[in-house]
Amino acid sequence: MSLPPACSATSTSRLSDSVYELYNPGVESVLDVVFFHGLQSSHTSVPHLSTWISSGSHKEVWPQTWIPQEFPGARILSVEYDASISTSPTHGRLDLYLTAESLMHNLIFAKVGQHPWRPVILVGHSYGGLVIKQLCVQAHFSESLHRSDKQIARFLNSVTGIFFYGTPHHGSSSFFTPNGTKLKDASPLLDYVKLLCADAGRLHEYFDALRVNYKWSIAGVGESRPTTFMLDAESQNAVAVSREMIVVEASARYGDFTVEHEDHISLCQPESRTSNTYIRLTSFLQSNKVNRRRLPDNLQTVPKMAMSLHSDLLVEVQKILRTGPAAVALCGMGGVGKTTLAKLLFNELCAEYEYTCFIPRCTDMKNTKEIEDKVNSSMHHLGKQLTQGVEKWNPTDLRQQTLLLVLDDIDNGSHVAFLQDIVLKNDCANSRYIVTCRDRNILNSLDSCVFDVKFLNPESSTKLFMSYAFPYPTEPSPSLNKWVPKIVAKCDGLPLTLEVIGTYLKTKVRESIWMECLQALDEAKDVGRLDDKLWAQLRVSYDRLGSQEKEIFLDAASFFSNSSWKLREAKACWRVLYGYKDIQWQTLIDLSLVYDVTEEKSIQMHEQLRSLGIRLASGWGTGGRCRTWTPKNVPSRFNSSNYNESIAEGQFYSNDPGSSSTDMGTHIEEVIALRISRGTPIEGIIPLLHEHSMLLDLRDIGQMKKLQYLDSEVFMRNEVGGKLPKNVTLLRLRGDVNNLHDLVDRGLARSLAVLDLRAPLTCLPTTVSDFQNLEVMKFAKCLFEDLPEAFGQLPRLRHLTFRWCENLRSLPEAFGGLSQLQSLKLKDCWSLEALPDRFGNLSQLQSLKISGELSQNCLRASEICPSYKAW
């Protein structure tokens, strides 16, 4: 038989005794594809390569060279095992059972199937297909007998599909027995395979039951041409013995199956990327490259080149985490790559732990209660967020369970104390904790191994910069190329600066722009503090934004980022304020100033860029504007130990241009954003209730003539509605407000884009239709029983939510006139019994969630909106 010829080893990495890595994407892979070879004519060959050599003119190992071009994020592996049909002291003696047992351990050691979000696809040729089936069957029985073997369970759950090349699922009478020909030194393995083929039905029956249980996708191809058998195939004296069909169609047919015009060997050796046998496999990979059963909710997004830039440190830290101590700290200035390293470590290790949690930006959480709440709401178990749906949990569940916890950017002793408390309560020696920190002194009381994250060296810096400035295969022009080392040198080896400056210069082809950028970076070198110097470097990109892009960036950094507001709500406001178009936000994404997130998620950006935005937005005298009321920005009765009430009255509310308090009066009028929450003052937030229970005087809000964003999460008095400035675009109120008349009368109807009210509203006025720019509307605990017909005349309303409006009995027929409505949520509106007849006219409705009695009786919901969910 003409089995695959010997093949000299190409560039591969040996991950374990039997597993070879043909291709690694260099970043966190999104898919593992593992190839299993068939029987071999000689033990001197390298079957994990020779089986898969293309029959075209280039004779290349096609899984190694072709597949990465179509699936660049996939890791390609090939396994080797004893499959020789001739015997020797070391080969041709293992049976299928021992082979499968050994391979399972080697695959686990190579981390195959150990990441719950990374799917695994197995590809087998001939006998290799039988190896796959035996491997899966033995793994299932082993996992059933040893419930504690979670690695095997992860493997079985990670497999999404199996592709077979000419596998005898139902046996083969001529399988390696051509015309009774006797092979020289025939191995015992050959006799075993003959017996296996005779009893193939039993293995196939077991395997097919597993396929149903694990929902594996199955596909394959079979031969239609006879195969030429050779004796001494690898010598010059090779003699053709016969031509026979090895695996007939009836035996090979399984799953999504086709017959190709190939023999048994050429079936897995396509001539080119246009060959049917190759196209069939890539189509299968495409359809099964996502693990449909379990995608982790907390997989962290990392830059493409992150792993290669810090590979040595990454390996070193991983070794420490696997052997101890339990805690590892990554220290360094902001922008040096600490968070990226923490994300890489989390992604690499999280599959090994029962519980996982990644907490970003701990610096925003100033006390233990805040960080504790964040951990409790972000905890995941086997990749699934515990606080979602019906699966509730208690922190005591963590005791003696393996936990991987990352606290990013801790900056005070309370953060360290919280971590020490978690370690004590968890009480598990195999748990691991990772923290990032800018100040090494904070870690003095923490038993941890501390790593200093260094600046990138010139070579890595250039590599990173080039990946952003010239992301395409084309080389930069000589006129620009000469500026590269100069600009890279000015970035001081900081990944964040290299990324931001590189993306800014990506589309710039004029040499004068590069020269101007270098000059701006050169000016930043004289800044003293490292953080100030970094901000000066990052500002090079900000300063070159258009005026509207600058406004949007500052709003995003100082108000929307690190808040409960979503990107869609920010965009709704910007459409009113700046005539927003999507290209403006895309510009910020393209320049790496913000992260690319969907509209249903909160705005995200690097902490140093957010700090730059807050710094720019908080400075008095910056174009006469101040975006945020903070304890640092605005002297108040709450944050000054020598505050004088009588003097402050004159300072805050004086309209006398000649008054000595004019500057402070101007300041209060220039505030654009005000966020009011309970608790201790933190950056960007001022409490409504002071520690001495002194109420914030509502005149403070009334004096903010340019106020655009008012976000109050606490109880406010009824009269506040009549005191709101006319420019408010986003409004969240909690309190005694019982109607919307004041909001309309004050002129808010023209500017309001986002309205979130939790108040005992008894009715909505017919003038509600005056809110022509309103896109997001949320009502909670309101007392109205119905809505006016004018409610259906809101031309831009896209997202509508009613929560705990227990008196709401009906929606108006005009509701069907909300032509732009995309999402509707009705939670616990117990009196609402039916949807209006014209509800089906909501042609743009994409998301519908209903809870309460209506969810049980709403038979039309799934017909109206395919994505309907009972809430």
pLDDT on residue 104: 92
Whether residues 138 and 253 share a domain: the answer is: yes
Residues 396 and 469 both lie in one domain = no
For residue 107, what pLDDT is reported? 94
Residue 163 pLDDT more than 60? Answer: yes
Per-residue pLDDT at 665 exceeds 50: no
Residue 467 covered by a domain: yes
The per-residue pLDDT for 489 is 93
Q: Both 447 and 468 in a single domain?
A: no
As a whole number, the mean pLDDT across the chain is 78
pLDDT above 70: percentage of residues in the chain: 75
| Residue 663 pLDDT | 41
Q: Is the pLDDT of residue 207 over 60?
A: yes
**Span of 3-12, 129-138, 316-325, 677-686 with lowest mean pLDDT:** 677-686
The answer to the question of residue 35 being in a domain is yes
| Token couple for 506 | 């990506």
Position 324 scores a pLDDT of 73
Q: Is the pLDDT of residue 509 over 50?
A: yes
- Burial bucket for residue 393 (CB in 10 Å: 0-12, 13-18, 19+): middle
Residue 295, pLDDT score: 56
The pLDDT of residue 859:
46
Q: Show the domain range for 503.
A: 463-540
β-strand partners of 13? 21
Residue 324 lies in a domain: yes
Both tokens of 320, joined, read 């420490």
Query: pLDDT digit string (tens) for 672-724?
Result: 888 776 543 433 333 333 233 334 455 667 777 888 998 877 655 544 445 67
Residue 664 has pLDDT above 50, yes or no: no
Q: Taking residues 206-232, what's their average pLDDT?
A: 85
What's the rounded mean pLDDT across residues 838-867? 67
Residue-level pLDDT at 862: 52
Which two structure tokens, joined as six digits, stand for 402? 């393996």
pLDDT at 629: 57
840 within domain boundaries = no
> Which pLDDT tens digit goes with each residue over 372-418?
888 888 898 877 787 644 345 677 778 888 899 999 999 888 899 89
The enclosing H or E element of 500 equals helix 495-504
Tell me which range, 40-44, 301-305, 330-334, is most confidently predicted by mean pLDDT.
330-334
Q: Domain with 367 in it: what CATH number?
A: 3.40.50.300
Q: pLDDT class for 321, splitting at 50, 70, 90?
A: confident
Q: For residue 314, what pLDDT is reported?
A: 81
- Cβ neighbour number for residue 620 with a 10 Å cutoff: 13
| Model confidence at 777: pLDDT above 50 | yes
Distance CA 22, CA 841 (A): 55
Is residue 284 located within the same domain as residue 368?
no
- Rounded Cα distance between 370 and 540, Å, is 35
Q: Is residue 275 domain-shared with residue 324, that is, in the same domain?
A: no
Kindly state whether residues 78 and 19 are assigned to the same domain: yes
User: pLDDT tier at 133 (50, 70, 90 boundaries)?
Assistant: very high
> Is residue 647 predicted with pLDDT exceeding 50?
no
Type of residue at 110? A
Is 751 part of any domain? no
Does residue 773 surpass a pLDDT of 70?
yes
447 plus 479 within the same structural domain? no
- How is residue 812 written in tokens? 């108006």
pLDDT digits (tens, 9 = 90+) for 325-347: 889 999 998 888 899 999 989 98
Task: Indicate if 191 and 260 belong to the same structural domain.
Answer: yes
Asked if the structure places residue 712 within a domain, the reply is no
The total of structural domains in the chain comes to 3
DSSP structure class, residue 439: -
Q: What is the DSSP string of 652-682?
A: HH---TTSTTHHHHHHHHHEEEEEEESSS-B
386 backbone dihedrals φ, ψ, rounded to 5° = -75, -30
pLDDT(240) > 70: no
pLDDT of residue 2: 37
The mean pLDDT value for 121-132 works out to 93
CA angle 806, 808, 810 (to 5 degrees): 145
User: Domain check: are 359 and 225 in the same one?
Assistant: no
For the four alpha carbons of 709, 714, 718 and 723, in that order, the dihedral sign comes to negative
Q: What one-character-per-residue DSSP string does 416-435 give?
A: HHHHHHHHHHH--TT-EEEE
Q: Grade residue 218 by pLDDT with cuts at 50, 70 and 90.
A: very high
Which of 399, 429, 452 delimits the end of a domain? 452
The domain boundary residue, chosen from 393, 423, 452: 452
Residue from 823, 832, 824 nearest 854 by CA: 832
Among candidate residues 232, 258, 288, the one where a domain is terminated: 288
pTM, two decimals, is: 0.62
* pLDDT category of residue 370 using cuts at 50, 70 and 90: confident
| Shared domain check, 165 and 273 | yes
Residue 372, domain member (yes or no): yes
Query: Which pLDDT does position 670 carry in this prediction?
Result: 74
Q: Place 179 in a pLDDT band, splitting at 50, 70 and 90.
A: very low
Instruction: Report the distance separating Cα 225 and Cα 166, nearest Å.
Output: 12
CA–CA separation, 757 vs 778, rounded Å?
A: 6
pLDDT of residue 287: 86
Reported as a single tens digit per residue, the pLDDT across 841-855 is: 888 888 888 876 665
Same domain? 255 vs 155: yes
Q: Are 68 and 76 in contact (CB under 8 A)?
A: yes
31 part of a folded domain:
yes
pLDDT for 649 equals 34
pLDDT at 861: 52
CATH number at 132 reads 3.40.50.1820
- The answer on pLDDT for 96 being more than 60 is yes
Give phi and psi for 750, each to the nearest 5: -80, -25
pLDDT at 851: 77
Q: Regarding predicted confidence, which is higher, 277 or 150?
A: 277
- Identify which of 368, 788, 772, 299 has the alpha carbon closest to the alpha carbon of residue 575: 772
Q: What is the pLDDT of residues 516-529, one digit of tens each?
A: 999 888 887 766 67
Mean pLDDT, range 654-661, rounded to an integer: 33
More confident site: 425 or 655: 425
* pLDDT band, very low/low/confident/very high, at 858 (cuts 50, 70, 90): low
**Close Cβ partners of 581 (under 8 Å, ≥ 6 residues apart):** none
Do 399 and 521 lie in one domain? The reply is: no
Q: Which two tokens stand for residue 588?
A: 């910020």
Q: Which of 90-94, 455-459, 548-552 has the lowest mean pLDDT?
A: 90-94
